[in-house]
Structure 1
Amino acid sequence: MKVGFIGLGNVGGKLSGSLLRNGIDLTVHDLNPDLVAGFVSRGAKAAEGPAQMMRDCDAVITCLPSPAASAAVMAEMLPEVGPGKIWMEMSTTDEAEVKRLGEQVIARGGAAVDCPVSGGCHRADTGNISIFAGCDRATFERILPFLTVMGRRILHTGPLGSASVLKVMTNYLATANLLTCCEALVTMKAAGMDLNTTYEAIKISSGTSFVHETESQVILNGSRDINFTMDLVKKDIGLFQSIAERTGVPLEISPLMISIFEDGIARYGMRAQSDDIIRRLEEATGLDITAPGFPPEMVDDEPEEPGYEVVPQGLERQAG
Structure 2
Amino acid sequence: MKIGFIGLGNVGGKLSGSLLRNGVDLSVFDLDDQLVNAKVAAGARAGGSPADMMGDCDAVITCLPSPAASAAVVAEMLPQVTAGKIWLEMSTTDSSEIKRLGALVQAAGGEAVDCPVSGGCHRADTGNISIYAGCARATFERVLPILTHMGRRILHVGEVGNASILKVMTNYLATANLLTLCEALTVMKAQGMDLGMTYEAIAMSSGNSFVHETESQLILSGSRDVNFTMDLIQKDIGLFQQLADEAAVPLEISPLIIAMMSDGQARYGMRAQSDRMIERLEEATGLQILADGFPTELVDDEPEERGCEVQPKRRIR
How does the TM-score come out when normalised to structure 2? 0.99
Distance of 1:90 and 1:208 partners within structure 2 = 28
| Structure 2 equivalent of residue 141 of structure 1 | 141
| Structure 2 equivalent of residue 267 of structure 1 | 267
Map of 1:242-281 to 2, 5 A cutoff? 242-281=242-281
Q: Give how far 1:42 is off.
A: 1.2
Distance of 1:143 and 1:178 partners within structure 2 = 33
| Structure 1 equivalent of residue 221 of structure 2 | 221
| Structure 1 equivalent of residue 23 of structure 2 | 23
Map of 1:23-42 to 2, 5 A cutoff? 23-42=23-42
Distance of 1:234 and 1:278 partners within structure 2 = 17
Deviations 1:229-288 (A, max 9, x none): 001101100100000111111111101000000110111111100000111111000110
Paired-residue identity, %: 74
Distance of 1:284 and 1:42 partners within structure 2 = 47
Map of 1:1-320 to 2, 5 A cutoff? 1-315=1-315
Instruction: Spell out structure 1 runs of 4+ moving beyond 2 A.
Output: none
Unmatched 5+ stretches in structure 1: none
Distance of 1:32 and 1:306 partners within structure 2 = 30
Let me know the Cα RMSD of the aligned residues.
0.9
Distance of 1:213 and 1:47 partners within structure 2 = 38
Q: Give how far 1:313 is off.
A: 1.2
Distance of 2:311 and 2:181 partners within structure 1 = 31
Q: Give how far 1:97 is off.
A: 0.5
Equivalent position amino acid for 1:178 in 2: L
Deviations 1:52-93 (A, max 9, x none): 000000000000000011111111100000101000000000
Q: Give how far 1:211 is off.
A: 0.2
Q: Give how far 1:315 is off.
A: 2.7
Unmatched 5+ stretches in structure 2: none
How does the TM-score come out when normalised to structure 1? 0.98
Equivalent position amino acid for 1:173 in 2: L
Deviations 1:136-193 (A, max 9, x none): 0000000000100000000001100000000000000000110110000000000110
